[in-house]
Structure 1
Amino acid sequence: MNIIIFFLVGLIVHVVFFLSIFDIYFTSPLVHGMTPWATPLEPPASRLVLVVADGLRADSLFTPLNNGSSRTSYLRRVIEERGTWGVSHTRVPTESRPGHVALIAGFYEDVSAVAKGWKENPVEFDSVFNESRHTWCWGSPDILPMFAKGASGDHVYTYTYPAEEEDFASTDASKLDTWVFTQVKSFFQSAKSNSSLKASLLEDKNIFFLHLLGIDTNGHAHRPMSQEYLDNIGLVDSGVAETVALIEDFFGYDGRTAYVFTSDHGMTNWGSHGAGHPSETLTPLVVWGAGVNHAQRVTEPQPYTDGYLQGVKLSTLLVSQGLLPLSYLNNTDRFKAESMYTNAFQVLEQFKVKMTQKKESTLSFLFTPFQ
């Protein structure tokens, strides 16, 4: 009899522990209903161009060629002359969906996504795309729709190639990135003769998102040390240079465009990603344009560069987690102070909603608010 009781008690304890895992880890921590806060001052940029080179490792971008030159000559000039650069740190799982959610929605996606589908929105979340006036996106049919689906209104426009183009057995997947750059070029050319589109483009709070899957696909098919992977990085660099020139010309070099170049995750030497190895979690970050600090000269050696850069200060960056990346901002002290003030209230609003939810789900005599 004692053995049976011991077995039943042990079984109950294990069942409780098992169910607690789903309650703790498979329940979304996101909250809704916060009062929005915004900085009253005019932002330094009217538009943002976000370029994500899917699967690009930090060292693959920053490591120089044998002769000391760089396969990314344009981005290197940006870093040395007019931008701020760093190494961003992704979090496990280092996959495309959670990486892009962190970049565009500003939070690390919770584990509940595993149980609710990869391409659909497992939980409702806001994103910078949703808060924009207009967002135009080009790239993969696996990534773009998840940000358009949850957007309010009809202001997030997606342009994707057919899903069958994402062929991991392809001899060279850089054609996926060529498709994106070609479409962006055609888009701005057509806007010159399309008055309604041109009027929308000339408004503020616009975002242009270029999702480049070629590097990731070539990495899976040929490994990150392959010529296909490395050549694809050079192709992306040339494409970014041409796109920036195109955009600057369209907007009359008004100095109101901010650019962000980064990656959603890296890749191991054997062509995989998803775990927490530095080759998967360390990704490059290059930011320049309106409101961004210029290159800062230093004498001490900089990490991650491996001879790629000499004397240009690195600014590391973690996904925000509620903290403003002040080292990247080029603006007045008042603007920075107002931004920090607004950011504090945004965090406080989340705390208030969390506290209300906790109070409603807890017995009154067990609930004790923080002082």
Structure 2
Amino acid sequence: MISGTSADGIDAALVRFQAGAPTRCELLLGRTYAWDEGLRERLVALGQGGDARSLEELGTLDIQVAEAFADAARALIEEAGVAASEVAAIGSHGQTIRHRPAGAGFDGRHPFTWQIGDGAVIAERSGIATAADFRRRDVAAGGHGAPLMPAFHAALLHSDSEDRAALNLGGIANFTLLPARGEVRGFDTGPANCLMDAWALRHLGQPFDADGAFAAQGRIDPALLARLLDEPWFAQPPPKSTGREQFHLDWVDARLSGGERPQDVQATLLELSAVTIAQALRAHQPATRRVLACGGGVRNRGLLDRLAAQLPGVVIESTAAYGLDPDFVEAMGFAWLARQTVAGLPGNLPSVTGARGLRVLGTLHPAV
């Protein structure tokens, strides 16, 4: 289970792994469960750099998130007709409220990442062993703790005949680079949907721009695009990761000259996502022949069209063509990570996160 940068719902996937074959898995059922709107508003505000009102509020949110995840797990297995005793483990990403792998703490020297949603509460309420808190061990080992999907992508989507890239279009965009021969790499590229979603909410009262229709009404503003692209983070080399605390509406507002039409800003934000994704791919794996996309952005036709325009000669297709539902690839990936944790096997790739070595990720909370 995962709630990503956009905090637009809890994605839950019931996954069956073939015994002795960790790279072969089947999605039995996938569902997205809505957050309580008041809770979601607080989570988004915290994720964008806001402060908790008190330690009491933060502790309460930790439990509320865990309870929501546990309710999602129970609803999923009930709909699937599966008993809790049949599920080996839950893999819970939780909700990121702060991600500072470069060490932007009080003294600027202590890197950390923080996902709330107490795994002990999930285990207790669901009756299923729960692996949670996957990112911290990698950060403790000098890594970014993100992205964590490349090991899963490499296991299921690698080809010996062509260079590929798996592209997750969530709130933040990230690549897993899968060369036919060579080291797997991965990193965040910047915004995918988070800025467009926030702008659509402000101007349309809707949580996202359905199929890029709002952006299609506008025109790209070259001057605004240049100011957005001037962000130093884009020029940083991998390993790197980011989130809402970096890319949010205050960041956009600071780069507006005033008087821009909302639809033109939306079109420009869409172009920002497409350009930064394409630039990252050309810089780090220029021989890529196929991009396999997943995440909510797969449903934004406008974004996919601009990506295709930025990457001529590259086939861009959904992971659905390879048996992976694009809406639940990340949730399936956390099931895979839970399987690794239970087996005592590493879940990170140091070539991706920058960690000092392979590490078993997550804390396992037994069912009883």
TM-score normalized by structure 1?
A: 0.25
TM-score normalized by structure 2?
A: 0.25
- Decide which structure has greater strand share: 2
Q: Which of these two proteins has the greater Rg computed from alpha carbons?
A: 1
